[in-house]
Amino acid sequence: MLIYLRVLKESFFFAMNALRTNLLRTFLSLLGVTIGIFSIIGVLAAIDSLENEITDGLSSLDISTIYVLNRSFGPTELERYEYEKFPNVSYDEYQMLQRSMDDIDAITYTVFASPENIKYEDKTATGVNITPGTESFYDIENLKLKEGRFFNGAESNSGSPVAVIGSEVASSLFGDSDPIGKRVRLYGNKFTIIGVLEKEGQGIMGPSKDGSAFVPVNFVRKIYGDNNKNRTAALILKPKKGVDQDEFIATFEQQLRSYRGLKPDEITNFFINPLKGFADLIDTITGTLKFVGGIIAGFSVLVGGFGIANIMFVSVKERTNLIGIQKSLGAKRRFILSQFLFESIILALFGGLFGLLFVWLGTLLANSMADDFTFVLSAYNILWGTSISMIIGLVAGIIPAFIASRLDPVEAIRTGM
């Protein structure tokens, strides 16, 4: 065992000395591997960062949440002319399902409204995302209040002019003063501020709640009516914990079909969009991006590997005479093999470490420039990049090392001379 450790030690120092002797050649070889590792790990780190942002964006939502409306969140087998005729879900349907579905944990009715301006005295918050809903919206969206309260069932049913606003809206209109109880102008009416949400920060999953205002949906229904083609309505619901989602969706679909009087041979004229399906779609997309990005970046790694192999062949050629002398003095094949393999692996490993260093510096630079997006270089990617480097060195150096170990000492000394 000690003999093998000594051979490895001598091979390592011999390889390091060879790399120091040919600095320019070593640098050029390092450059190829560095670019390759930088490319592949940079791509993986960027995709991981995107995946983390999406996951954080979805973390405030329960993936058991289901959206029901006349539009699909993903691809559909129906033709466009078919689903464009689908009616909006109605408030009556919301009330029917609220009464008849026992497995519903929470359900709300909402209308996708256009941004509006909110005024308070001489100040105006522009482009505020108005989110109408019932009192259950608070639980479904997992909203968090900084102060005040959310509107209750009585205010929701009557369509009271009350509003809960995001932190950015509160800051724009009231500065450091207390907004609770203040009256603002929205939709040409006076609304009373009853709550302010905690600051959320900008994400990539749609508009931030910081720039939003939540109002009772029945107030918006009074303005636009229930048959407005320019306003899309939706039901948002969550089944109780432990309920099988597929069975729940099947029961729900049958209930709504029956209420709409659809015959068995008629298509379902609404879409059921589970958030779980959206999360699965995101996983599929990020997986595809990793695969495609890995293949593209892999070509850079391949080029770096060819560069190392070429340098190792040159190194064997230059040291043919030395190899012959070593073998004539009793050096075993495994010693010759190991010293060239060590040289190749160390060369690739240093190139990989430099590539990882540049990725890390890139993440620092990107994070300093992007306020709402966090780039990460995970330990998994660091380990992956190091492993790829070592594999490149091993594969690129195995043939030159094998050729060197098989040289005849007499022929090697004669060729070198």
pLDDT in tens, 120-139: 988 999 989 999 999 998 88
Q: What is the reported pLDDT for 105?
A: 86
CA dihedral 255, 256, 262, 267 (to 10 degrees): -110
Q: What is the reported pLDDT for 170?
A: 92
Cα-to-chain-centroid distance, residue 139: 25
CA dihedral 8, 36, 402, 316 (to 10 degrees): -90
- What is the rounded distance in angstroms from the CA atom of residue 8 to the CA atom of residue 373? 46
Pairing of strands 123-133, 212-216: parallel
- What is the rounded distance in angstroms from the CA atom of residue 20 to the CA atom of residue 26? 8
Order across the sheet with 104-112: list the strands. 104-112, 232-239, 66-69, 271-274
Q: What is the reported pLDDT for 99?
A: 87
The pLDDT of residue 181 is above 80: yes
pLDDT band at 64 (very low <50, low <70, confident <90, very high): confident
Q: What is the pLDDT of residues 33-45, one digit of tens each?
A: 788 788 778 877 8
- What is the rounded distance in angstroms from the CA atom of residue 376 to the CA atom of residue 359? 10
The pLDDT of residue 175 is above 80: yes
Assess contact for 24 and 314: CB atoms under 8 A: no
- What is the rounded distance in angstroms from the CA atom of residue 396 to the CA atom of residue 307? 8
Q: What is the reported pLDDT for 165?
A: 93
Question: What percent of the chain shows pLDDT beyond 90?
Answer: 19
Structure tokens at 395: 């594969």
Q: What is the reported pLDDT for 134?
A: 92
Q: Is the pTM of this model over 0.85?
A: no
Q: What is the reported pLDDT for 417?
A: 52
Task: Name which residue leads in pLDDT, 411 or 221.
Answer: 221
Largest CA distance in the chain: 102
Range of lowest pLDDT (288-297, 348-357, 383-392)? 288-297
Residue range 221-248: average pLDDT? 83
Q: What is the reported pLDDT for 258?
A: 92
- What is the rounded distance in angstroms from the CA atom of residue 215 to the CA atom of residue 32? 59
Residue range 375-403: average pLDDT? 81
Q: What is the pLDDT of residues 320-342, one digit of tens each?
A: 777 777 777 777 777 777 777 87
Structure tokens at 197: 């949400």
Kind plus residue range of the DSSP H or E element containing 380: helix 379-405
pLDDT band at 157 (very low <50, low <70, confident <90, very high): very high
Range of lowest pLDDT (24-33, 42-51, 213-222, 408-417)? 408-417
Q: What is the reported pLDDT for 192?
A: 94
Sequence-ordered strand ranges (E) for 64-201: 66-69, 104-112, 116-120, 123-133, 145-148, 162-165, 183-186, 189-197
In single-letter form, the type of residue at position 287 comes to G
Q: What is the reported pLDDT for 372?
A: 62
Structure tokens at 17: 């000395």
Q: What is the reported pLDDT for 406?
A: 78
Tokens 């209308």 found at: 111
C-alpha dist (Å) from residue 349 to 37, 303, 395, 412 = 10, 15, 13, 29
Q: What is the reported pLDDT for 217?
A: 92
Q: At what angle do helices 275-318 and 333-369 cross, to 10 degrees?
A: 140
Q: What is the reported pLDDT for 257?
A: 92
Residue range 155-179: average pLDDT? 91
Average pLDDT taken over every residue of the chain: 81
The pLDDT of residue 190 is above 90: yes
Q: What is the reported pLDDT for 5?
A: 63
Helices (H) and strands (E) in the chain, counts: 14, 11
C-alpha dist (Å) from residue 410 to 269, 403, 413 = 86, 15, 5
Q: Kindly write down the DSSP assignment for every residue of 305-367, as one continuous string.
A: HHHHHHHHHHHHHHTHHHHHHHHHTT--HHHHHHHHHHHHHHHHHHHHHHHHHHHHHHHHHHH
Q: What is the pLDDT of residues 240-291, one digit of tens each?
A: 888 888 888 888 889 999 999 988 888 888 988 887 766 666 777 777 777 7
Task: Name which residue leads in pLDDT, 49 or 157.
Answer: 157
Task: Name which residue leads in pLDDT, 204 or 343.
Answer: 343
Q: What is the reported pLDDT for 249?
A: 87
Assess contact for 34 and 358: CB atoms under 8 A: yes
- What is the rounded distance in angstroms from the CA atom of residue 393 to the CA atom of residue 346? 7
Task: Report residue 376: phi and psi, to 5°.
Answer: -130, 145
